[in-house]
Chain A
Amino acid sequence: MKAFCRLFSVLDESNRTNDKIAAMRDYFESTPAGAASWALFFLTGKRLPALVKSKALRGWAAQLSGLPDWLVDESYAQVGDLAETVALILPEPEDAPLVALPLDEFIRNHLLPLRDWDTPMQFPFVREAWAGLDQRGRFVYNKLITGAFRVGVSRRLVVRALAELASVEPAVMEHRLMGNWQPSPEAFARLLSEDEGEANPARPYPFYLASPLEGGAEALGDIADWQAEWKWDGIRAQLIRRSGLVILWSRGEDIVSERFPEITREAARLPEGAVLDGEILCWRDDAPLPFNVLQTRIGRKKLTPKILEEAPAVFLAYDCLEVEGQDIRDLPLSRRRELLELLLPEGYAVDADRAILLGERLQAESWSALAELRAQSRSRGVEGLMLKRLASPYQAGRVKGDWWKWKIDPFFIDAVMIYAQAGHGRRAGLHTDYTFAVWDGEDLVPIAKAYSGLTDEEIRRLDNWIKQHTRERHGPVRIVEPQQVFELHFEGLARSTRHRSGLAVRFPRIARWRTDKQPREADTLEGVQALLEQPQQ
C-alpha cells in the first residue's frame, strides 16, 4: 500500500513524462506480482464499483472528527473533492500499520469485504481502515471505496513503462493488456513473459485510431494511394469469432455481445478464427439512425422486443485483423480489404435480416470529387470521411500518418450560460461544468452541457463571475444570472424526446466566450431546429 501510494503521489504531482515512466517501471520491477497486478488494474483506468456512498463517508468523517456537518461541507466546498476533504479532517492516527500491507492484501481485507454489507454495517470496517492509514493512504482508500480513483497518467504511458520492463514493443504490450484483464499474480507474470500459446481466445487487438486531418486532403498526395470511407457516428467495436465463441468488444474494452444479439447471432456464421474491426450503428432502410437511438440500446438493463424493433443494430465492418486464426495486421490495408470482402461476400447491399455489413469504400477520381462527397455527410448522417493509406499496416493506438479522420465542420450556436457546477480533479473547486440555453420566446431552454474549451485563465475569471452572480444554489449546482454568452460547437444534432428542448446535441464544446454579445443576441430554439435541415457546407 505504501509503495502504491508513493507511486500515486509521483504520478499525481509530476508533469514530466520520463519521470512518470521511470516511477512506474521502478514500481513494477520492485513490487510482488500480486500487488503489481492491482496497481496495473487501477493505472489502466479500471475501477471497482463504488462500495460506499459519499454521503455516508462525509457523515462518518464528521462524527469521527467531532466537527459539525455544515463545517465539513464548507471544507468540502473549498477542497472540491470529498475523498481528499475526509482524509484531511480525520484525526491524526497514532501509527499507520495498514500502510505496510501489500496492495492486494489490503484490497482483499479492507476493500472487497465492504461489498457484503449495507451502509451502517460498513462503518466499523471503514473506521478501522482509517485508523490504520496515514493521510495519503486515507485519500487513496477513500478514492478506491467511492469508485472515484483516477491517476494522472495515460494508458499509453503505463503501456510504455511495462513494455520497457518486459523488453517488448509497446504495441505488443498493448495487445497483451487488451480485453477484460483481471488482476492476479499469474496474469501479471504473463504480461512480462508471455507464452503466446496461452493467449486468451477472447482477447481483442488494440484498436488503431485515426488522427484529425487539419487543412486539406491534397497534402496527402495521390488519391490512388488512399481508401476513403464514411466516418460513422457509432460505437467502434471489434468482432471476434474464435474457438467457437463470438465476442463483441467496444473500444472502451467492454464486452457488449449481449447488448447486440442480432450481431452476435449472425457472427456465429463467420468462419472460425476471424476478427473484424468496425462500427456498431443503429440502421434502418439503408441509412444510419442518429446516435441517441443507439444510446437506447446501451442504457437499458433489459432489451425488450420493442427496443430491438425501434433500434435495430448492425456491425459495419471496415477492416479485418485475423483470418483463419492468423494475425494479419502487418499486411497492407489493400490486402486486408480483399480478405475482408472474401469474408463478407454479400457486400454492403442491405436487406432486413442482415446485421453484419461491409463498410462501403467510396470511389472518387480526385480530391475535389471526394470533397463533394464529403459535403453530403450531414444529409447521410455521418461525421465526414476516413482516409486510410492503402499500404498501411494495422497499427496500435493513435499513430499519425496513415489513418485520418476528415470531419465536416461542426455546428455552431451562441448560447447563454444558466447553470454552473464545480469540477473535480485538477480543477477541483473551480466551476468548470456549465449548462447552456437558447431562447424559446421569453424562456431559456437548456440545450447543452459543456466542460471544455476555455483557457485556465478564462475559467478562473468565469469562476469569479459565477460566484458573484449566483441566484440560487441547488446542492452543487449554481443557477447563475443569464448574462454570459458563449459560442458552442457540436458535431451532431438530432431530435429527442428525452430533452426539454426536443434536441440532442453531440460532443458540444465551448469555442469562444462571447463577451461582446448580450444575452438577447443568443440563438433561439427555432434557429437551432433549423440547423437540422441545413445541408453541410
Chain B
Amino acid sequence: MARAPLIRLTQSGLYCEAGGFYIDPWRGVERAVITHAHSDHARRGSEAYLCAQSGVGVLRHRIGAGANIRGLPFGESFSMNGVNVSLHPAGHILGSAQVRVEHAGEVLVVSGDYKTTPDAACETFEPVPCHTFITESTFALPHYRWRPPEEVFGEIDAWWRANQRQGRTSVLFAYSLGKAQRVLAGVDASIGPIGVHGSVEPFLPLYRAEGIRLPDAVKVTPESLPDLKGRGLVVTPGSVQNTTWLQKLGPSSLAFASGWMAVRGARRRQALDRGFVLSDHADWAGLLDAIEATGAGRIGVTHGYSDTFVRYLREERALDAFVVPTRFSGEAATAKDEVEEGES
C-alpha cells in the first residue's frame, strides 16, 4: 500500500502534512520547526516556532522579540497530531538541531546544517538512526577535507602573533552568528585584546547564557579602537571589506575563516592575506560518516552540490538518494557576499 510521504516539498518549503508543520519554511506559515537561526533557515512571519531550547535566545534575536517561540530540550519529544517530533544536536551553531519526525513507525530526520568536527561553542553532532535522512551538501565534493580544528586555531594564533610583531591589526572575517563565537572560543585569548563587530556582539551574552565560555571581547568603537589597533584580533563579518570601518583599524592583515578557503583559487581571488579552512558544515568524509551512522536507506540531498552527491550515493554507495531542491545554496563563497546571500 502506497503511503503519502511523511514530508514533502511545497511552495513554502518542507512540509509534514500529518503533523501540520513546516521545517525551516521559506515564508510565514502557521507552525514552523526551525533547525537553526541562520537567515536561510529561520525566516520571520510564522505564527508559532519550535526550536532547540539552547537556540531560543539567538533565534529570538534574529526573528524578533515578539515571536512566539517554544524551546524543546534536545532528545525530548513533542507530539503534533500524533506525529512525534524531537530535536537532536547538529553541531553547526549554538542550538542547531536535526529534526527527527516519527509517524506510524516511519522515522525521518532533517539534518539542517551540520558538522561532525568538534566546536567548543556548540553542542556536538549526534547521529540519529532513521529510515530517511535529508542531508545538506554544502561541501559535498571529495576535495573538501577539514584539518582538526585545534590545528587551524594554532595557525590563527600564529598569524595573530606575527601581525602583532609587525604592528598590524588582525582582522578575521567570520559569520557573525556561529563562526565568530567558535573563533572566539578557539583562539588563545592571552595573545592580546579581542574586538568584535557590532553584528557579532549581541550574540555573545546569548552564548554565555547557555554556558558557552567565551573570552572577553569588546565591541569596536572609537573608545576601544586605540587598544585594538596594531595588536588586537578583530572578528567581523566580511561585509566590512573596503569600508571606512575597516580602514579605521589601521594597518591590518585580512583573513577569512571558511570552508571555501580550502581551494587556493578561492583564496587568491579575494584580496586576503590569509585564508583559514574552518567550516561549520560537514566535509566530504563527515557527510559520508553521518549518513552511514543513521543507517538510513533513503537519502535526500539539499543545500549544495546535490546532483553530484546524489549520483555518488546512488552509484558508489547503492543508496536510494534523491535531490531535495532548495532556494538557498550553502555558505557564501566570498567574505563580501555573505550578507547578501544569507548565512548558512
Taking Cβ atoms with an 8 Å cutoff, the residues of A that contact B are: 12-16, 65, 67-68, 70-72, 74-75, 78-81, 84-85, 88-89, 92, 425-430, 456
Contacts and interface: CB of A to CB of B under 8 A. Distances in A.
B268 A426 contact: yes
Interface string B296-322: 000000000100100110011000000
Given A78-B263, A79-B265, A428-B264, A15 B271 contact: yes
A67 B142 contact: yes
B123 to A, nearest CB: 27
Contacts of B274: 13
Contact of A84 (B264, B273, B316): B264
Contacts, number: 69
12 contacts: A15-B271, A71-B312, A72-B142, A75-B141, A80-B265, A84-B263, A89-B142, A89-B143, A427-B269, A429-B263, A429-B265, A456-B269
A245 B161 CA distance: 56
A14 B266 CA distance: 14
A159 B315 CA distance: 53
A256 to B, nearest CB: 34
A81 B265 contact: yes
B145 interface: yes
Interface string B258-270: 0000111111110
Contacts of A89: 142-143, 145
A78 B143 contact: yes
Contact of B264 (A12, A70, A72): A12
A426 B267 CA distance: 8
Interface residues of B, number: 23
Given A68-B312, A68-B315, A75-B141, 6 more contacts: A12-B268, A71-B141, A79-B264, A88-B145, A427-B269, A428-B268
| Consensus secondary structure, chain A interface | helix
B141 A81 contact: no
Interface of B: 141-145, 262-269, 271, 273-275, 305, 308, 311-312, 315-316
Q: Which 10 A-B pairs have the closest CB atoms?
A: A428-B265, A88-B143, A75-B143, A426-B268, A89-B142, A80-B265, A75-B141, A429-B265, A74-B308, A79-B263
Contacts of A79: 143, 263-265
Given A85-B143, A88-B143, A15 B265 contact: no
A80 to B, nearest CB: 5
Contacts of A67: 142
B141 A13 contact: no
B265 A426 contact: yes
Contact of B141 (A15, A78, A80): A78
A85 B265 CA distance: 11
A520 B274 CA distance: 46
A65 B142 contact: yes
A80 B268 CA distance: 12
Contacts of A430: 265, 269
A84 B142 CA distance: 12
A80 B264 CA distance: 9
Given A78-B141, A89-B143, A71 B308 contact: yes
B226 to A, nearest CB: 24
A134 B316 CA distance: 27
A425 B141 CA distance: 20
A425 B268 contact: yes
A189 B269 CA distance: 38
A70 B275 CA distance: 28
Nearest to A85: B143
Contacts of B142: 65, 67, 71-72, 75, 88-89
A74 B268 contact: no
A14, A65, A89: which has the most chain B beta carbons within 10 Å?
A89
A468 to B, nearest CB: 15
Contacts of B143: 75, 78-79, 85, 88-89
A521 to B, nearest CB: 32
B258 to A, nearest CB: 15
A72 to B, nearest CB: 8
Contacts of A75: 141-143
Nearest to B270: A456
A427 B265 contact: yes
B251 to A, nearest CB: 10
A13 B265 CA distance: 11
B193 to A, nearest CB: 24
B200 to A, nearest CB: 25
Contacts of A80: 263, 265
Contacts of B269: 426-427, 430, 456
A71 B265 CA distance: 19
B143, B266, B268, B274: which has the most chain A beta carbons within 10 Å?
B143
Nearest to B143: A88
A13 B273 contact: yes
Contacts of A429: 263, 265-266
A462 to B, nearest CB: 14
A16 B308 CA distance: 39
Contacts of B268: 12, 425-426, 428
Contacts of A68: 312, 315-316
B316 to A, nearest CB: 6
Given A78-B141, A88-B145, A13 B267 contact: yes
A81 B266 CA distance: 11
B169 to A, nearest CB: 15
B257 to A, nearest CB: 15
Nearest to A89: B142
Contacts of A71: 141-142, 308, 312
A430 B334 CA distance: 14
A84 B311 CA distance: 23
B255 to A, nearest CB: 10
A463 to B, nearest CB: 11
Contacts of A92: 145
B265, B268, B274: which has the most chain A beta carbons within 10 Å?
B265
A13 B263 CA distance: 12
Contacts of A456: 269
A78 B262 CA distance: 11
Given A13-B274, A15-B273, A74 B265 contact: no
Contacts of A81: 264-265
A488 to B, nearest CB: 25
B168 to A, nearest CB: 10
A232 B262 CA distance: 46
Nearest to B262: A88
